[in-house]
Structure 1
Amino acid sequence: MNKILVGAIGVVALGLSAPASAADLAARPYVKAPPPAVAAVYDWSGFYIGINGGGGSARKCWDFVGVGGALITDGCHNATGGTVGGQIGYRWQSANWVFGIEGQGNWADFTGDNISPTAPLQQNRTRINSFGLITGQVGYAWNNVLFYVKGGGAVVGDKYDLIVAPGFVGVGTIFGSARETRWGGTVGAGLEFGFAPNWSVGVEYDHLFLGTRNNDFTFGGVFVQTERISQDVDMGLVRVNYRWGGPAISKY
């Protein structure tokens, strides 16, 4: 009798639990997988305009031009200082390669002087008060990071003075001056970071090759002497650009 009762209870319990088990095994609702992530690709193409600022140093070497073109050294010095200016250009991108052209104009105050080792009365003073660059660029982009090299033409505005050196009567008095606009070449390299779809910031180094040229010094319109002056310039700049072009594009 007990065995029959226990068996009956088991059958009833199995029957009661069957619906719950079936519910547990019911198919779960279908959930659509999220779309794949979209990667933003920075586009460097377009016109841009910007500002720059930094510092530089011009290496100047002077030689007195004597009778028959004989040269007598008047020494060398570095003309250093700051600069600020602007640039405008256009870039186009093909895959990871970026090509461009750019014009740049700056005010500058690169000044320096030295006392002539062969004419102690004479102190040579130079100043670059402006320069311009016209260059082409070739770069390689890693999305919003661009490394580029550049090269082209350079022009600077120079002012030179002959001054009475310390230790002589009339120290600091100018007794001859010359001015010139000198053309040359430039090469450089830069690294630029796009921090917004149309904004970028970067650093750049430039070297200017300005050669050697004779300059006639005058005082009150009267010829004083001729100096042969050579110069090269090294500069470091921080640049900020705003670009008119397509915003960052996307691809899967």
Structure 2
Amino acid sequence: MKTFLLGAAALLALAAPAAAADIPARPYTKAPAYTAPQVVYNWTGFYIGGHVGGAFAGDNTFQSSDARFLGGVQGGFDYQFAPNWVVGIEAQYSWLPSNNHGILFPAGTLVTSNTDQLGSVTGRVGYTWGPALVYAKGGYAWRNNNFGASVGGVPTAVTTTGNNKDGYTVGAGLEYMFAPNWSAKAEYQYYNFGNTTVTAGPADVVGVRGREDEHTVKVGVNYRFGWGGPAASRY
């Protein structure tokens, strides 16, 4: 019996390598390549922010063409659709320091048309790709303006027509989402408040007519609530 068991064990030992040789080798499988998640940017939502920049008079009949600093705030709402178009509405307010340079007329009359506040409510439409948005805007504009005249440093009365506080504005810009819920923008905005004509006052300014407008360049930052900023990741 012992001899039989030893013989069977020896037979199994000899058969095992042969059986193993008949088992095919496990095929090599390459690990799948890593795919980075795709960030989806969504411009839909409310936002608030601030801006700084400069203003330049478009017509120097009554205003100095020197650049003036401006700063202010803005807020609005955007809606993204179809899928790369964005429409929205924005309210904006800018403050400008007083401009006391004025324009000196031939007979010595100094006229100042000083706009120290600008406001607007505009619609805007834009096209986005990823974190960038290029847009155009336009709508209602408002200003606070002080029109006056002096001779030899002494204020003198003048009467005008026009000199509107209400007008229109158009502009365009580029906005970029640089972090979740945060975007930065650069824009040009033009304000037009019609024409002002002096109808009574010193002889050298009576009948003078000038356009009341402003060209502005601004940079700003917005904080976007809710859906603004990277909305999700796709794998």
Query: What TM-score results when the alignment is normalised by the length of structure 2?
Result: 0.76
1:48-69 residue CA offsets vs partner (Å, 9 max, x unmatched): 000011001123455xxxxxxx
For 2:85, which of 91, 94, 97 is the aligned residue? 97
Match of 1:202 in 2: 185
Match of 2:53 in 1: 54
**Percent identity between the two aligned chains:** 33
Cα distance in 1, alignment partners of residues 98 and 39 from structure 2 = 43
Residues 60 and 176 (structure 1), Cα distance of their counterparts in 2 relative to 1, 3 Å cut:
farther
Paired AA for residue 39 in structure 1:
Q
1:67-115 residue CA offsets vs partner (Å, 9 max, x unmatched): xxxxxxxx76425311111001000101110110000111112624221
- 2:175 paired with 1:186: no
Cα distance in 2, alignment partners of residues 143 and 28 from structure 1 = 42
Paired AA for residue 52 in structure 2:
G
Shift of 1:215: 6.1
Given that 1:132 and 1:154 are in contact with CA atoms closer than 8 Å, whether structure 2 keeps it comes out as yes
For 1:116, which of 95, 105, 113 is the aligned residue? 105
| Structure with the higher strand share, 1 or 2 | 1
Shift of 1:121: 1.8
- Structure 1 gaps, min length 5: 1-14, 63-74, 165-170, 219-224
Given that 1:146 and 1:191 are in contact with CA atoms closer than 8 Å, whether structure 2 keeps it comes out as yes
Residues 235 and 76 (structure 1), Cα distance of their counterparts in 2 relative to 1, 3 Å cut:
closer
Cα distance in 1, alignment partners of residues 159 and 220 from structure 2 = 33
1:112-149 residue CA offsets vs partner (Å, 9 max, x unmatched): 422113xx220112211101011000000011001000
Shift of 1:36: 3.8
- Structure 2 gaps, min length 5: 1-13
Shift of 1:184: 0.7
Residues 227 and 148 (structure 1), Cα distance of their counterparts in 2 relative to 1, 3 Å cut:
same
Match of 1:241 in 2: 222
Cα distance in 2, alignment partners of residues 149 and 215 from structure 1 = 35
Residues 159 and 210 (structure 1), Cα distance of their counterparts in 2 relative to 1, 3 Å cut:
same
Cα distance in 2, alignment partners of residues 178 and 240 from structure 1 = 42
1:8-45 residue CA offsets vs partner (Å, 9 max, x unmatched): xxxxxxx9xx89x96xx842575652564321111111
Q: What is the number of equivalent residue pairs in this alignment?
A: 209
Cα distance in 2, alignment partners of residues 28 and 163 from structure 1 = 96
Query: What value does the CA root-mean-square deviation take over the aligned residues?
Result: 3.2
Query: What TM-score results when the alignment is normalised by the length of structure 1?
Result: 0.71
Given that 1:140 and 1:147 are in contact with CA atoms closer than 8 Å, whether structure 2 keeps it comes out as yes
Match of 1:167 in 2: none
- 2:87 paired with 1:127: no
Cα distance in 2, alignment partners of residues 213 and 56 from structure 1 = 19
